[in-house]
Amino acid sequence: MGTLFQRNKNTSTSDPQSQDIELNPSGSPAKPADVHPAHEKASILPTHQVNHNGHKVTKHIAPEGESGRRGIHPLHFFKICWSSASDASRAVNLLWPVVPAAIALRYARKDLHLIIFILNYIAMVPCANLIGFAGQELARKLPKVFGILLETTLGSVVEIVLFMVLLTHDEFPVIQAAILGSILATLLLCLGMCFVAGGIRHPEQEFDEVVSEVGSGLLLTAGLGLSIPTAFFVAVNGTGLATTDELHDKVTKLSRVASIFLMIAYLIYIWFQAHSHHGIFDAILEGDEHKDKDRHIDLVKPKLTFTECIVALMVSIALVTIIAIGLVQEIPSIVESRHVSEAFMGLILVPLVEKAAEHLTAVDEAWDDQMNFALSHVLGATIQTALFNAPLVVIVGWGLGKSMNLQFDVFNIIVLILAILVVGNFLRDQKSNYLEGALCLIVYVIIAAGAYYFPNATAEHSGATVA
């Protein structure tokens, strides 16, 4: 073929049509002539998109999230949910037998407060894990940035449910501690585990400046907004400018104003990330996907259908609500009979169980060297707690006529601001390693020890009365 092309190039001909033929260089294949017009070719070729598994891609569904099925298939549904997303997440599924045991014991033996609390605490983990997995499957079917935002929002469902149940039981000190505890657990514990897990496989990991700078700026804003009611209370208390009731009323009103503007800040952040600057974040996350060495395995894994994702979310959220009610009902008994401080309960115990699914997802991504994905989950969950979930509790309490506010203990608010500064310093150079991760974990353990020894307000007041 190459010889023929060379000969035609060197041979002259009087045929005018042959002179119009474009000759290819020797050795290159010839392009077939167009025998059909463009409009005829469009009618012959298939009009649907096919993904990597050969499945026809449904309209408005990302190719990576296409399952190739429709509706609900019980066998596939349970098999996919059981296999889950990672080995750690799959191991958590072994705790599912605890769920019916916790629900049954709550009604059969109401006097076993400690056992009921422990079982409900453990049962919360697989339910939260299912929410995280179903949210991750649903996020695969959507554009990357919007999928991350949706996955982060669904991961916070457990937290929102717990906050609302605590609110109905008037556990205001536990809620206030849990708000800051949730931020600290994600910011120090989860981020520290991500840095350590990634540092085991990679000497140093890098992440994009946009992700770290936007996250750090929002965290500082959230920390300042959450601390203003506490600073106001400390500044006015003891000056005689207002009575105790007046001061409490002013702090509550200030908290409601702060909550409204914090939620506005969160909406602006969502618009910034999902609309006006989504192209930047899309490019960053797309580049991160190619770093995953196991991506080819994840692509061929069976996927849940859209309907199955919704069913999994409905079932898991219902179970989380039932278990949260049983868990919260036992908190007063544990605090009083077992002498567990409310600070430790809210700052450490409650956030650990409510953030389990998000932690597993972020650590798995850091292990696969997808630090931009991991940071998006960590910082996104932290920002949502500070700018949306915490203000939401105050607004809902306002609607229910409850005096829920953002007046935190000085110990908690100081710890929060210092933690934000420490993490912001680690994110400044856009690099991470296991040393920084270990330091975050050490700081979190020290905070946990401080919360454990922090006295309850009731015990402190009774001691003062006796004295």
Q: What is the pLDDT of residue 294?
A: 67
Helix/strand/coil percentages in the chain, nearest 5: 75, 0, 25
User: Which of 133, 48, 43 lies closest to 88 in space, CA to CA?
Assistant: 133
Pairing of strands 431-432, 205-206: antiparallel
Report the SS3 class of residue 93.
helix
Q: How do the pLDDT tens digits run along the chain, 467 residues long? A: 444 334 444 444 444 444 444 444 444 444 444 444 444 444 454 555 655 555 556 665 665 666 667 778 888 888 888 887 677 778 888 999 999 999 999 888 888 889 999 999 999 999 988 888 888 888 877 777 777 778 778 878 888 988 999 999 888 988 998 999 999 999 999 999 999 999 988 889 888 888 888 888 888 989 999 999 999 999 998 888 888 889 999 999 999 999 999 999 999 988 887 777 666 666 777 766 666 666 666 666 778 888 888 899 999 999 999 998 988 889 888 888 888 888 898 889 988 887 777 788 888 888 888 888 888 888 888 999 999 999 999 999 999 999 899 999 899 999 999 999 999 888 888 889 999 999 999 999 999 999 999 888 754 443 333 33
Q: What is the pLDDT of residue 277?
A: 67
Residues 40, 38: Cα–Cα separation, whole Å: 5
Contact 305, 67 (CB under 8 A): yes
Q: Half-sphere exposure of 217 toward its Cβ, with a 13 Å CA cutoff?
A: 9
Q: Half-sphere exposure of 114 toward its Cβ, with a 13 Å CA cutoff?
A: 5
The dihedral built from the CA positions of residue 106, 109, 112 and 115, taken in this order, carries a sign that is negative
Q: What is the pLDDT of residue 75?
A: 86
Joined together, the tokens standing for residue 229 give 């009611």
Check residue 303 and report its DSSP letter.
Answer: -
H/E segment holding residue 432: strand 431-432
The per-residue b/e assignment along 254-272, b for 16 or more CB within 10 angstroms, e otherwise, is: bbbebbeebbebbeebbee
Q: What is the pLDDT of residue 3?
A: 42
Cα distances (Å, whole numbers) of residue 68 to 58, 147, 375? 9, 19, 31
Angle, alpha carbons 59-61-63 (nearest 5°)? 110
Specify which residues 431 forms β-bridges with. Answer: 206
Q: DSSP states of 167-212 as a string?
A: HHTT-HHHHHHHHHHHHHIIIIIIHHHHHHHHHHH-S-EE--HHHH
Q: What is the pLDDT of residue 280?
A: 64
Q: What is the pLDDT of residue 60?
A: 57
Backbone angles phi, psi at 353, to 5 degrees: -80, -30
Q: What is the pLDDT of residue 123?
A: 93
Backbone angles phi, psi at 431, to 5 degrees: -140, 155
Residue with token string 């991160």: 288
Q: What is the pLDDT of residue 447?
A: 94
Q: What is the pLDDT of residue 460?
A: 43
Q: What is the pLDDT of residue 419?
A: 92
User: Which of 284, 263, 288 lies closest to 273 in space, CA to CA?
Assistant: 284
